[in-house]
């Protein structure tokens, strides 16, 4: 696939380290957090945002779906993701996945190993760099560490961020889809030794 975007991966998502002096903490969102975090997402993101009911259903199905960045006691960012089953990944690749109202049958439940992780929404003005480092650490633990990531950035900044972290555009039924293949899933280079 030919792309207009240069592949300038300055960092590998799976190798990001926590800062020596973290400014934020990470915690799972609860149903009580939905109203305020959805409002933050609607203000910061272009396009439509999932309904409170869809977000509540998703969090109830998998409590790891929405992570919040906290600075002191204030929510300063959101990392929302959908833990996909094999049928969910297939639907995403075929362009048949509804991100605004995800079908729970296509989502892995809490504790299950997802077939893939889809970045649902990321809001972290000013703290994106540190927040991504926290999320990288979180997603390197079981049951997430083998699940490749998929993203559909809808801004130039999002595209640059994806490329900078090692994501690559892929041909799929879902237009504008990017994929990050986890380091553990990459084929090791063949040895030239005889």
In a domain, 194, yes or no: no
Which pLDDT belongs to residue 95? 97
Domain of residue 91 covers 17-184
pLDDT in tens, 31-42: 999 999 899 999
pLDDT in tens, 69-110: 999 888 999 999 999 999 999 999 999 999 999 999 999 999
C-alpha distances in Å from residue 11, one per residue of 28, 61, 92, 160 = 25, 32, 26, 12
In a domain, 3, yes or no: no
- Please give the backbone phi and psi of residue 191, each rounded to the nearest 5 degrees, phi first: -75, 140
Residue 23 is given by DSSP the state S
Domain count, the chain: 1
pLDDT in tens, 134-168: 999 999 999 999 999 999 998 888 899 899 999 99
How would DSSP label each residue in 137-178? HHTTSTTTTT-EEEE---SHHHHHHHHHTT-EE---SSTT-E
Which pLDDT belongs to residue 59? 96
Peptide bond connecting 143 to the previous residue in cis, omega within 30 degrees of 0: yes
Q: Going along the chain, which residue ranges are E strands?
A: 25-28, 66-71, 74-84, 116-123, 148-151, 168-169, 178-180
Q: CA 77 to CA 74: how far, in whole Å? A: 9
pLDDT in tens, 8-18: 445 789 999 99
Which pLDDT belongs to residue 1? 37
Which pLDDT belongs to residue 88? 98
Global pTM? 0.89
In a domain, 47, yes or no: yes
Which has the closest alpha carbon to 76: 118, 30, 117, 44?
Answer: 44
In a domain, 7, yes or no: no
C-alpha distances in Å from residue 141, one per residue of 98, 145, 166 = 27, 5, 19
In a domain, 94, yes or no: yes
In a domain, 1, yes or no: no
pLDDT in tens, 117-132: 999 998 887 776 788 8
In a domain, 45, yes or no: yes
The owner of tokens 């929302």 is 80
The owner of tokens 């006691």 is 73
| CATH code of residue 26 | 3.40.630.30
Which pLDDT belongs to residue 10? 56
- Quickly count: other Cβ atoms within 10 Å of residue 12's Cβ: 13
Q: CA 178 to CA 191: how far, in whole Å? A: 29
| Conformation bin of residue 65: beta by default, left when phi > 0, alpha when psi is -120 to 50 | alpha
Given a cut of 70, whether residue 191 has pLDDT beyond it is: no
In a domain, 165, yes or no: yes
Residue 192 pLDDT level (bands cut at 50, 70, 90): low
């Amino acid at each position: 696939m030919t792309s207009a975007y240069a592949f300038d991966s300055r960092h590998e998502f799976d190798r990001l380290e926590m800062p020596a002096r973290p400014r934020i903490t990470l915690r799972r969102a609860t149903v009580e957090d939905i109203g305020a975090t959805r409002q933050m997402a609607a203000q910061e993101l272009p396009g439509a945002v999932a309904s409170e009911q869809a977000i509540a259903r998703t969090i109830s199905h998998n409590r790891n779906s929405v992570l919040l960045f906290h600075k002191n006691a204030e929510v300063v960012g959101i990392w929302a993701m959908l833990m996909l089953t094999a049928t969910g990944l297939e639907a995403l690749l075929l362009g048949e996945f509804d991100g605004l109202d995800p079908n729970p049958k296509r989502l892995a439940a809490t504790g299950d190993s997802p077939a893939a992780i889809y970045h649902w929404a990321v809001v972290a003005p000013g703290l994106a760099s540190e927040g991504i480092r926290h999320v990288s650490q979180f997603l390197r633990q079981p049951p997430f560490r083998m699940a490749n990531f998929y993203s559909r950035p809808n801004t130039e900044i999002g595209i640059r961020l994806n490329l900078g972290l090692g994501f690559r555009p892929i041909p799929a039924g879902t237009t504008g889809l990017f994929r990050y293949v986890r380091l553990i899933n990459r084929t090791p280079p063949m040895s030239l030794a005889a």
